Chains A and B, each alone.
Chain A
């Protein structure tokens, strides 16, 4: 399993763009990169997943450079409700196995 490293915490203000970078230096050829969001006392929620280049959905964008040794989750115009823990996960297990969560990044958004 590829190990991931993220900043422990980040602070932002409402309306700003937030970029959270995750390092995964030993990512394997077939590994996908997945990001989850978790609010206190709730289960993690899938945000976005990608393999290479850029992926965008209604919530976020995921930027993956050509060497795939890192990835950046971009949250446009954050609001107070985006205050949460964000986990970056990398893995290529066969069906039925699971991802190992790293320590995550606690994002605090202020007004």
Chain B
């Protein structure tokens, strides 16, 4: 199984709502990532978990809160978002052995988020 799954596929929320995005992989990978991608722009890294510990937080606003319950699951909790947060949110995983040993990322299909 070389698939990363993300739910939901689409999400529409108001600025006062609280919602969560979910990501799952069963490849035994030990690193998981959240990216944000705006239209016609490259993906931007938000968070990285390595061996279930947050290792990188690219100064993302606190209205985004990641959670890694175990090595197969990754959540992104959303609260009080702004319309400019509307984007495609991508989850990825990698073996976690590091690029020096040919680590590569596998991406999910993304969640299309619209904030009204």
Chain A residues close to B by CB (< 8 Å): 30-32, 34, 41-46, 49, 87, 91-104
Nearest opposing residue in chain B for A106, CB measure? B40
- Chain B nearest CB, measured from A92 CB (Å): 5
6 closest Cβ pairs, A-B complex: A96-B50, A43-B107, A101-B42, A95-B98, A95-B96, A96-B55
> Interface segment, B13-21, B59-67, B78-86, B108-116?
B108-116
Residue of B42, B48, B110 touching A98 (CB-CB under 8 A): B48
Chain B residues with Cβ below 8 Å from A103 are 42
**When the two chains form the complex, which single residue of B43, B49, B97 contacts A101, counting CB atoms closer than 8 Å?**
B43
Q: How many residues of B contact A (CB 8 A)?
A: 34
7 sample A-B contacts, Cβ–Cβ < 8 Å, listed by A number: A34-B99, A41-B112, A43-B4, A43-B90, A43-B107, A95-B96, A96-B96
- A96 and B104 contacting across the interface, CB-CB below 8 Å: no
Could you tell me which B residues sit within 8 Å of A by CB distance? 4, 30-31, 33, 42-45, 48-51, 55-56, 88, 90-92, 95-100, 102-110, 112
In angstroms, Cα B106 to Cα A49, docked, is 13
With both beta carbons as reference points, the residue of chain B lying nearest to A48 in the complex is identified as B104
CB–CB A46/B33 < 8 A = no
Distance in Å from the Cβ of A44 to the closest Cβ of chain B?
5
CB distance from B111 to the nearest CB of A (A): 10
A98 and B98 contact, CB distance less than 8 A: no
Candidates A32, A44, A98; contact of B100 at CB < 8 Å: A32
CB distance from B7 to the nearest CB of A (A): 14
Q: Please report the C-alpha to C-alpha distance between residue A34 and residue B30 in the assembled complex, in whole angstroms.
A: 19
How far is B108's CA from A31's CA once the two chains are assembled, in angstroms?
Answer: 25
- A98–B30 touching, CB < 8 Å: no
